[in-house]
Structure 1
Amino acid sequence: MMKTSNQALPEIVSAEQWQAALDQQLIKEKALTRAHDALNAERRRLPMVKIDKAYTLAGKTGPVSLLDLFEGRRQLIIYHFMFAPDWSQGCTGCSWVVDAMSHPAHLHARNTSLVLVSRAPLEKLAAYEKRMGWDLPWYSSFDSSFNADFGVTTEQGEKHGVSILLRDGGELYRTYFTGARGVEHLGSHWTYLDLTPWGRQENWEDSPKGWPQTEPYTWLRRHDEYDD
């Protein structure tokens, strides 16, 4: 017989008590969903800024313009992946986000393209992409002011984030940007963990006493490094 764990656990109740507690939780979650829908509606009504500057990025098939990244579609999601030119590998957290990205065909069906852009030279991006087993459009802004102009390379270093662009004919506009924890909904691993009793198991979370917790992000690894 398997030995009972000494780890802190949620309260054990009857099936009826569990269902009652769940029903109350779902009322709050539905309210949050509606609030999130309202926030999304506000985002769709944000003003936008025209992109007048011409950028040339390096891609697998050669130099490309910002317009080329749309691949003829109307909307473009750019994930600013942290990978500086002098780094030997990409950011751990950004790698988490990319691991969770869905098949692009679902975005294409809604007239939307998704690309990654980093400052590291293309050969470094290609080597890391092969190691990670990814197959997403990834472009280097190494010889461009793109990262600085979009606010993701500063005097303090590299930043991650996501920019949303809209195309009207040949005119390009930036409609939205978020960084820091604003990109978490792109990395569904966090969403999955948020559903579990122990959550993300980080010490900023409001969890019952005795729950396993560590400092934020210290436990993250690239998917081929956990055995280390």
Structure 2
Amino acid sequence: MNTSVHTSPPQHAVVSPDQWLKERKALLAREKELLRLQDQIARERRALPWTRIDKPYTFDTPEGPRALADLFEGRGQLIVQHFMLGAGWEQGCPSCSFMADHTDGMTVHLAQRDIAFVAVSHAPLVEIARFRQRMGWKFRWVSSHGSDFNHDFHVSFTPEEEARGEVYYNYRMQPFEIDELPGISVFVKNGAGEVFHTYSAYRRGVEAMMGTYHLIDLTPRGRDEDALSYPMAWVRHHDRYEPAPVPAPAGACCQAHA
């Protein structure tokens, strides 16, 4: 079923070019305020203290078992996408896949800034490889199956937590939803090979990877999700979308009723 909402643009005032320019400049001043605030928050994010990773996490990779420090691949910084793909799942989460669709074009640029990227999922590597091949992605993707990594970063939950009905996610206790949830974590490695956790984001914080949303937000209808059962209900795996509707030629409706 196609849950996309295709409606006419909302009714807006139509004004002269001079009036439009006046109002656009007023909005530009607000946009600049937002950019300055984003820059300030980025500085505060970089100033956060670090915590050393002492637990010896091991990941299953196509090259064999690897430690967290190995995932940096010689770089000093590492971004991890906590990708929702649990053991036995037929396919990965559509929203996490939406995030991942943006990744392959970014990794070459991240590497120029001393940043490695890896997706980590709780599913066994063979299940990751099968879905990765289907989606045609090239970015590095490893398995934390058998490791505490996902649990320690609060994106996978145990049957005991599920039975309790509450889990710790996004820095607070909240009702259990599903045994896997999304996130992004950032790590840094020093010259001595020590690894530190510097940042993690969950919920809407993962929109940092969703460049499509940033473009959608520029359009008159914006995200247009109010009528959906939940905000991202329209998102599909990129090989599961129905063809986009083809607009009728101008005047076709009138000709049909002539």
In the superposition, the TM-score normalised over structure 1's length comes to 0.90
Query: How far did 1:214 drift?
Result: 2.8
DSSP 3-state at the match of 1:175: strand
DSSP 3-state at the match of 1:103: helix
The match for 1:187 is 210
The match for 2:187 is 165
Give aligned-pair identity as a percent.
42
State the number of aligned residues.
215
Partner of residue 147 from structure 2, selected from 144, 156, 180: 144
Partner of residue 66 from structure 1, selected from 65, 68, 88: 68
DSSP 3-state at the match of 2:106: coil
Query: How far did 1:86 drift?
Result: 2.1
Q: Is there any run of 5+ residues in structure 2 with no aligned partner, and where? A: 1-6, 162-175, 244-258
Please give the alpha-carbon distance, in whole angstroms, between the structure 1 residues aligned to 2:35 and 2:9.
32
The match for 2:90 is 88
Question: Counterpart of 2:183 in structure 1: which amino acid?
Answer: G
DSSP 3-state at the match of 1:105: helix
Instruction: Please tell me whether Structure 1 or Structure 2 has the larger radius of gyration of its CA atoms.
Output: 2
Alignment of 1:197-216 (within 5 A): 197-203=220-226, 213-215=227-229, 216=231
Please give the alpha-carbon distance, in whole angstroms, between the structure 2 residues aligned to 1:108 and 1:144.
27
Query: How far did 1:7 drift?
Result: 5.2
The match for 2:237 is 222
Please give the alpha-carbon distance, in whole angstroms, between the structure 2 residues aligned to 1:6 and 1:57.
49
Note the alpha carbon deviations across 1:42-74, whole angstroms, 9 max, x for none. 011101111001111111121111111001111
Note the alpha carbon deviations across 1:121-169, whole angstroms, 9 max, x for none. 1111111111111100000011211111111112341111011001012
Say yes or no: does 1:135 pair with 2:135.
no
Please give the alpha-carbon distance, in whole angstroms, between the structure 1 residues aligned to 2:102 and 2:117.
13
18-27 or 170-179, which deviates more: 18-27
Off by >4 Å, runs of 4+ in structure 1: none
DSSP 3-state at the match of 1:28: helix
28-37 or 95-104, which deviates more: 95-104
The match for 1:16 is 18
Please give the alpha-carbon distance, in whole angstroms, between the structure 2 residues aligned to 1:7 and 1:38.
35
The match for 1:45 is 47
CA RMSD across the alignment? 1.5
Please give the alpha-carbon distance, in whole angstroms, between the structure 1 residues aligned to 2:21 and 2:68.
52
Please give the alpha-carbon distance, in whole angstroms, between the structure 1 residues aligned to 2:8 and 2:200.
45
The match for 1:206 is none
Please give the alpha-carbon distance, in whole angstroms, between the structure 2 residues aligned to 1:86 and 1:31.
47
Please give the alpha-carbon distance, in whole angstroms, between the structure 2 residues aligned to 1:6 and 1:196.
12
